Amino acid sequence: ATIEFIEYAIRKPKFTMRECLHKGVTYGAPLKIKVRLDLYEIDESKNKVLKESREQEVYMGEIPLMTDTGTFIVNGTERVIVSQLHRSPGVFFSPDKTKTHVSGRPLYTSRVIPSRGSWLDFEFDTKDVLYVRIDRRRKIPATIVLKALGYTNEDLLSTFYPSEVIRITGKDKFTRPVSEILAGVKSRFEVKAPDTGDVILKEGSKITKVALRRLANSGIEEIPVAREEIIGRITLKDIIDPETGEIILESNESITEEVFDRLIALKLDSIELLFIDNVRYLPSLRDTIITDKVSSREEALVEIYKKLRPGEPSTVEAAAELFNGLFFDEKRYDLSPVGRLKINKKLGLDIPLETKVLTDRDIIEIVKYLLKLRTGQGEVDDIDHLGNRRVRGVGELLENQFRIGLIRMERAIKEKMTLTELEEVMPHDIINAKPVMAAVKEFFGSSQLSQFMDQTNPLSEITHKRRLSALGPGGLTRERAGFEVRDVHPTHYGRICPIETPEGPNIGLITSLATYARINEYGFIEAPYRKIKAGSVTDEVEYLTAIDGEKYVIAEATTPVGKKGRLVGEAVPARLAGDFKMVPPEEVQFMDVSPKQVVGVSASLIPFLENDDANRALMGSNMQRQAVPLLTSDAPLVGTGMEGVAAKDSGVVVLARRSGIVESVDSTRIVVRVTEDKDQESDFDLLDSEEGGRVDIYNLMKFARSNQGTCFNQKAIVKQGDRVEKGDVLADGPCTDLGELAPGKNVLVAFMPWGGYNFEDAILICERLVKDDVYTSIHIEEFEVEARETKLGPEEITRDIPNVGEEALKDLDESGIVRIGAEVNPGDIVVGKVTPKGESQLTSEEKLLRAIFGEKAEDVKDSSLRVPPGISGAVVDVRIFSRKGSKKDLRTKSIEEDEIKELQRDLEERVRIATEEGYLKIRELLAGQKADEDIRIPKSREVICGKGKKVTAKDLEKIKDQYIGKIKVQDPEVQKKIELYIKQIKDYTKQLQSIYDEKVERLRKGDDLSPGVNKLVKVYIAMKRKVQSGDKMAGRHGNKGVISMVLPEEDMPYLPDGTPVDIVLNPLGVPSRMNVGQILETHLGWAARSLGIYVASPVFEGASETEVKGLLKKAGLPVSGQVTLCDGRTGEPFERPVTVGTMYMMKLHHLVDDKVHARSIGPYSLVTQQPLGGKAQFGGQRLGEMEVWALEAYGAAYTLQEFLTVKSDDVQGRGKMYEAIVKGEASLESGVPESFNVLIKELRSLCLDVEILEKRKKGE
């Protein structure tokens, strides 16, 4: 029997993206495959005959889908699969760093890296013998592998060496043929031209190429050679005595004096010898043949088998199978089209890209190239060159996982087919898709490259998706990566950003794609260039990979261009293969597209980047990604012009899908009536697009929680009646201002010291920033509680909680869930929950009470969700998930009703607009037609247009929409059209209604919760964080600092007109850090603020000093950019003028509120009984060795004893201490620390019997 795959289909996803985020499920689509099971039987004449075949669709599982913003939603969280930058498959030649030749010449190695399969390495040893390693195992002489391919010694010698036939003309007279290979050989004889008698070769002179040409022209075909030159030469073929058939000299042997005498005695007329001159042709391959000691293909195969599988019995068949499986079997070896392309390019072959395995020719050419390298020809590869590194995107990474899963599945299917009776079986009984889906799940869930999306602000989203990582499966590891891999390479220009990379152990391994770069079908990064034809610059853009880019002369983007696109100047600066040089304009072939193509997105948002030191620019680009979205966003006064592009591409703003007119706008949605004109005639087609006919509804995200807990809120920026075009911004997201990226605020800064409060980069801020909520941000935390089935009964979510006063329950509704809008503080109950507790043994008093009152005391314990420390805010959202088929509480029902109302509203809006449009079209059709019967107003029966008269638009205004379709006109075509339109309106309404019904059904159905969970409640609490001392702020130039103090407005230094500055920065932070861009930004910002304009200063083509000065002058400000400030406390002017201006400052995600932490008692570690560590575990502060020394130095013995015992891990002591406090005593009695017991247990585990001996009192 056989089972065969026919086709696959990916169906529609079950939930929308929003639903998946809310419900905490994976956004994916069901994958189904169609397979056919063919059953055969064997007939009388022993032939296989098809008995029957069964086709069936088999459900494979859910396959995660990418959202339109390039993320994946896995278990309700957005994740990004980072692309991997890895070594491209192919063949690489490199100098051998481990050893050198005796003569000091470098040795070379070559390595064939497939996309999947065994590696093949060739290397020389110090004696010039060529060895091969398979999968980095023990080395084998390389010729063994060549012989295993079927080559004989003679084949190999003739392939790698030229030969020459020496003619024996007399007793001591020999000649050799004239050929190219003789260039550089010394001639022992004088050779004259036969016709003129000129001397062509002098005795003892080197034969040159000119001499060879003269010999050929003179018609000389052979030149004499001395006996000494023949002795020691190597034979190509066996030399046989013609009479006896005895082998006198085997092939690959050297000729000695005696043998040579025997050869002459035999009167042979010629012998064929190898030409090895130790300059162009080295003896290494011949030496290798001597060392390999195998004579046939079979022996070679067995030899390889023994090396790869030592200790196993070897047969020729097994050996042949193993060897073929290594490099020539498509199942186990795959070069991939990229690998084949690289091998073809390097070795100059033309093997088709479909050949994904190695061929004999590849191996021969690799050896030839290695030998060429030894003689100084050819070139080695640079593995950090971007032509040798390629990008693996999500698709390819997932494909590899799928392959692993399918191989596992194949194995299982084969097993099942051999074990089961196939008579009654259907394909789905044989196919188990679990391994495939498990591999995919594992990839999305726990692969190094599947990362939790950084969603702090739009910029961090977009850079996370553009990131390239050299780490991950099949990549490098941090520890092993050397300096070369991390360094900036010339080929990064225009492909990888040289600035944006993390500081720390990952520096240079994680990089970012440059602004204009793209990735081609083979995974190589391409950069765009403008083409230059006949010396003039065209607008034609061509993308080049790193390899192609090295062939051309490329001019810079800022090169001045004259009339007709000609490059100006005698010589222009240009690049060729990574070198900068001046070249004449006519030699230039390409030109950069833009100066900012060098850098990535983050760096392109830094104005005056060209004036910053690279290290600070790196910090600047990394810190922009940590800026928190603020309550209101302000676009930077000094930008780079990239802000709009970055915001649009990040996917946080709402863009118009189609052109139209804004029908209605409120805080949660925008309705656009689409007016995209298709052909005027057949325009009205309601079912023209999935998006829902003639209307687009955009639901906005309100106060949602991002992955990092920042607030994700969209607000409309269009008004009712506005005309919008496709791609226009309709609503702003977080950190955007009118569709421009705005992660911070424009504030007035002064560079001056102020009472030491800006020592070491500290920042002094004005109280206005706190009071006016300039730097206030909203943070949303999510808390969840689940009611489970326990052994003693189900947990219950309820308002009825034992031992809790009414005051604590004031914000809970009757279902025990907090109301939206309630203000909560640490320790407040958010969701009331009780857990059944085991029957406890009753005391006699309790028994008595039971007997008297007859009630059973509540045997449940309070396990409510309470607000953790450090969090206080307002409840913004509550979501309740109930198990399918369970009874819903009131709160769940009310939430459902609200959601259904929303859907209802959408439905009504769509239907209304569609019918309006439809009837409008019908009115247009009717106007000017002749009536077929009297047209009356339905209620009053008044005739407005008699039969056969023309109907006017005015007449039609008197008739309502629902009756308009009943009007009959004489033109049958028009009549038909009207009926069609009416049918369409009905059909469309029906279609919308069915979609709506399906959505409502899904809402009401209940949710799939994990086993054992009856109900899940999620509560979202929003906190307002005002800026305060301890928060981290930064500009865009790597100028970061911590707020040291918030000063009242009246104490801040103020300008001559009385304006207090907002922020005081330390001037000493600029010179040593060399980020002068911030000063230029400050000057330009001051001018822009005074003139009321926004300025764009693009990277590397920004404003010059003179332009900045000009703008300051125009604004009527001092050209120096400095002004005398007055002290707010005394009113005295400061001694020196101070640099003042507007700088764009951001508040970063390192907020002091998230870091402050205190504990008195809390959880303890199970083993050591010491307090846990860290804020997340509500841990304590560690008292280390040095702290103990400090207390010892003070002689604070009791304090120290308390620290080391009761406050740490002395369990009995803790109890006694509590007792003492309750009784009001102040005594410390310490017991045995738990860590001592742990130590004893450790010693016992080493088989040392340690006992604790009690100290006896006297007399015992």
What is the separation of C-alpha 475 from the centre of its chain, rounded to a whole number of angstroms?
Answer: 14
DSSP string, 961-1003: HHHHTT--BS-HHHHHHHHHHHHHHHHHHHHHHHHHHHHHHHH
Q: Degrees (nearest 5) of the Cα angle 345, 351, 352?
A: 105
Per the structure block, which two tokens stand in for 488? 């900036």
What is the separation of C-alpha 1055 from the centre of its chain, rounded to a whole number of angstroms?
Answer: 48
Q: How many CB atoms lie within 10 A of CB 10?
A: 13
CATH number of 1158-1246: 3.90.1800.10
- Helix (H) or strand (E) holding 574, with range, is strand 572-576
Dihedral, CA of residue 3, residue 5, residue 10 and residue 14, to nearest 10: 0
Neighbouring residues of 79: CB distance < 8 A, sequence distance ≥ 6 = 71, 72, 73, 444, 450, 451, 452, 453
Burial of 853 (0-12, 13-18, 19+ CB in 10 A): exposed
What are the residues facing 532 on neighbouring strands?
537
What are the residues facing 541 on neighbouring strands?
530
Neighbouring residues of 197: CB distance < 8 A, sequence distance ≥ 6 = none
What is the separation of C-alpha 437 from the centre of its chain, rounded to a whole number of angstroms?
Answer: 22
What are the residues facing 167 on neighbouring strands?
175, 270
Burial of 1204 (0-12, 13-18, 19+ CB in 10 A): middle
3-class DSSP state for residue 276? coil
Q: Tell me, yes or no, if the two domains 2-81+394-453 and 1158-1246 fold the same way.
A: no
Closest-CA residue to 53 (of 34, 67, 78): 34
**Res 263: pLDDT:** 80
Residue in the structure block whose two tokens are 């971007």: 386
Q: Distance (Å, rounded) from C-alpha 724 to C-alpha 715?
A: 16
**Res 954: pLDDT:** 75
Closest-CA residue to 882 (of 999, 714, 1014, 1000): 1014
Residue ranges covered by each domain of the chain: 2-81+394-453, 88-156+289-391, 158-277, 528-593, 745-776+1028-1153, 778-795+802-835+854-885+1006-1024, 897-1004, 1158-1246
Q: How many CB atoms lie within 10 A of CB 1046?
A: 17
Superfamily for domain range 745-776+1028-1153: DNA-directed RNA polymerase, subunit 2, domain 6 (2.40.270.10)
Cα of first residue to Cα of last residue in the chain, in angstroms, is: 89
Q: Distance (Å, rounded) from C-alpha 1161 to C-alpha 1168?
A: 16
Q: Distance (Å, rounded) from C-alpha 331 to C-alpha 118?
A: 12
- Helix (H) or strand (E) holding 31, with range, is strand 28-42
Neighbouring residues of 1236: CB distance < 8 A, sequence distance ≥ 6 = none
pTM > 0.75: yes
Closest-CA residue to 287 (of 302, 276, 271): 276
Neighbouring residues of 51: CB distance < 8 A, sequence distance ≥ 6 = 39, 40, 41
What is the separation of C-alpha 914 from the centre of its chain, rounded to a whole number of angstroms?
Answer: 42
How far, CA to CA in Å, does 1055 sit from each of 768, 947, 1045, 1128? Answer: 16, 84, 20, 10
Amino acid at 169: T
Closest-CA residue to 599 (of 508, 519, 493, 741): 493
Is residue 984 a contact partner of residue 997, using CB atoms and an 8 Å limit?
Answer: no
What are the residues facing 2 on neighbouring strands?
38
Is residue 944 a contact partner of residue 1026, using CB atoms and an 8 Å limit?
Answer: no
Is residue 54 a contact partner of residue 37, using CB atoms and an 8 Å limit?
Answer: yes
Which residue ranges of the chain lie beneath pLDDT 70?
Answer: 676-693, 839-842, 853-858, 965, 1259-1260
Convert 349-373 to b/e letters by CB count within 10 Å (16 or more is b): eeeeeebbbbbeebbbbbbebbbeb
Amino acid at 59: Y
Question: Looking at the domain covering 778-795+802-835+854-885+1006-1024, what would its CATH class be?
Answer: mainly beta
SS (H, E, C) 392-428: ECHHHHHHHHHHHHHHHHHHHHHHHHHHCCCCCCCHH
- Domain 528-593: CATH architecture, name and number where available: Roll (2.30)
Which fold would CATH assign to domain 2-81+394-453?
Answer: Rna Polymerase Beta Subunit; Chain: C,domain 2 (3.90.1100)
How many helices (H) does the chain have, and how many strands (E)? 32, 62
Neighbouring residues of 52: CB distance < 8 A, sequence distance ≥ 6 = 38, 39
Q: Distance (Å, rounded) from C-alpha 256 to C-alpha 242?
A: 20
Question: Looking at the domain covering 88-156+289-391, what would its CATH class be?
Answer: alpha beta
Q: Degrees (nearest 5) of the Cα angle 397, 400, 404?
A: 145
Convert 55-88 to b/e letters by CB count within 10 Å (16 or more is b): eeebebbbbbeeeebbbbbbeebbbbbbbbbbbb
Residue in the structure block whose two tokens are 């309006």: 916
Q: Distance (Å, rounded) from C-alpha 995 to C-alpha 980?
A: 23
Each residue's pLDDT tens digit, 572-628: 999 998 899 999 988 999 999 999 999 999 999 999 999 999 999 999 999 999 999
Is residue 597 a contact partner of residue 558, using CB atoms and an 8 Å limit?
Answer: no
Query: What sign does the CA torsion over 707, 708, 710, 715 have?
Result: negative
